[in-house]
Amino acid sequence: MREISHKLAFVHDAAPTRYSDVFDPNNGGVQARVALGDAALLDLAVTAAKKAQPGWAATNPQRRARVMFNFKSLVEANMNELAHLLSSEHGKVIADSKGDIQRGLEVIEFCCGIPHVLKGEFTQGAGPGIDVYSFRQPIGIGAGITPFNFPGMIPLWMSGVAIATGNAFILKPSERDPSVPVRLAELFLEAGLPEGILQVVQGDKEMVDAILDHPDIKGVSFVGSSDIAHYVYNRGVAAGKRVQAMGGAKNHGIVMPDADLDQVVNDLSGAAFGSAGERCMALPVVVPVGEKTAIALREKLIPAIEALRVGVSTDAEAHYGPVVTAAHKQKIENWIQTGVDEGAELVIDGRGFKLQGHEDGFFVGPTLFDHVTTDMSAYKEEIFGPVLQMVRAETFEEAVSLPSKHQYGNGVALFTRNGHAAREFAARVDVGMVGINVPIPVPVAYHTFGGWKRSAFGDTNQHGMEGVKFWTKVKTVTQRWPDGGASADSAFVIPTMG
């Protein structure tokens, strides 16, 4: 059986004592096993990172940017291999896997401009003969703990900015689909990145805790469920680290009476069911405003959902593939039953879906609920599967309040032709990322990604300038070059520039 190990800057001779199975979601079989590391292995990785990082930080930004350029070209040249590898472990269809990697590459493209981004500030003559300037320096060693649902994109979001700004980086990917991060690390080395600057350690909670506790790791970036994000944030901060921890979501799509319903249905089909709903920026809740809108939307949604094709990852005609594990499939189906028990109307039931020839695969059919209410736990919690819930609102004000009052505040979308309504909505809704007629409002790489409330812990977001700020620290220098002669004045008061 294929064994997936770490990608380290040293030879690790000790045989692993613990493993985790890696499944093929398309057929339900175990295709590989991944070696799980421990605190001792992490300590060796940190030692290698400490040795390599000062030289990388001293490398001028242009040369670091050239590594990014080289890496981008190598990933593009190996896109098909990476996408098939990703799909084989995650289950998403090939086109979606390519999109996963491409969205990560867009952050690498941003990192290619790191010489410009790292320019500091300078004030000449801030005081008599005094100049002040500031610049950013790397924090040293950073770490990333990434989820199963984007095994290409999120590791690139974290590692790209951390490395481009001069840090060493240790990545702990999900043990459910660990191969793509290892392959990306290999391509970084091929692109010219020095040994020790990017290392991949495999593991579970034991490795996560070791990362959070290690005194030489100065910053940790995390993406996963909210409960674990909260845990990671608290433990990391208690250990003196800077931490950004992105959690779960329950994104709403508000449909105004004037919206183009054909476009809305097309957008919802992809946003709610693409990647089997395993996205923190999926759109699992649709909120039609007014009874007439709800009736018309439902009438159009049902045939569109029933026409969705669920297939294996390599099926070019499939809209989405299996979910990642049998346990996750069961969790989704349990949530569907919970929705039924709580009184929601189950319009389309995706439970018990079987794909001919792949009966043991982890497939869940598309599911639609109507008449969902805000007191239902199936509405309050993240299902993370191909389940769309309709919550009817009578007015625009009620529709704005639904995502604003929800415990999660990652993303939200408004579908309308009314510019005033769009402007009001964007200004007032209590959510971090807003789409206007855009169902999945993931910002472009030179802006920043991050939600509010229980969707994010910490005050700095992913990628863009927020990412640069997270992985660097500012140093400010106030300098004076006297023109001769010592001042007779004694400086017993706070210096001013007056």
Residues forming the active site: 280
Angle at 183 between CA 78 and CA 180, to 5 degrees: 95
d(CA 194, CA 178): 22
Give the E-state strand segments of 403-494 in sequence order: 408-409, 411-415, 433-436, 452-453, 456-457, 472-480
> What are the CA-CA distances from residue 111 to residues 60, 115, 222 (Å)?
14, 9, 20
d(CA 6, CA 8): 6
Q: Are strands 408-409 and 452-453 parallel, antiparallel or unpaired?
A: antiparallel
Tell me, what amino acid is at 450?
A: G
Is-contact 408 380, C-beta < 8 A?
no
Where b means 16+ CB within 10 Å and e means fewer, 81-93 reads: ebbebbbbbbbbb
- DSSP structure class, residue 358: -
d(CA 477, CA 133): 5
Nearest alpha-carbon partner for 97 in 293, 259, 261, 278: 278
d(CA 90, CA 102): 16
The residues near 156 (Cβ < 8 Å, ≥ 6 apart) are 101, 104, 105, 107, 108, 184
Tell me, what amino acid is at 197?
A: I
d(CA 23, CA 37): 19
Radius of gyration in angstroms for the set of CA atoms belonging to the chain, rounded to a whole number:
25
Helices of type H across 112-225? 114-117, 153-164, 179-190, 205-213
Could you write out the three-class secondary structure of 188-212? HHHCCCCCCCEEECCCCHHHHHHHH
d(CA 266, CA 71): 35
Q: Is the dihedral of CA 434, 440, 443, 448 positive or negative?
A: positive
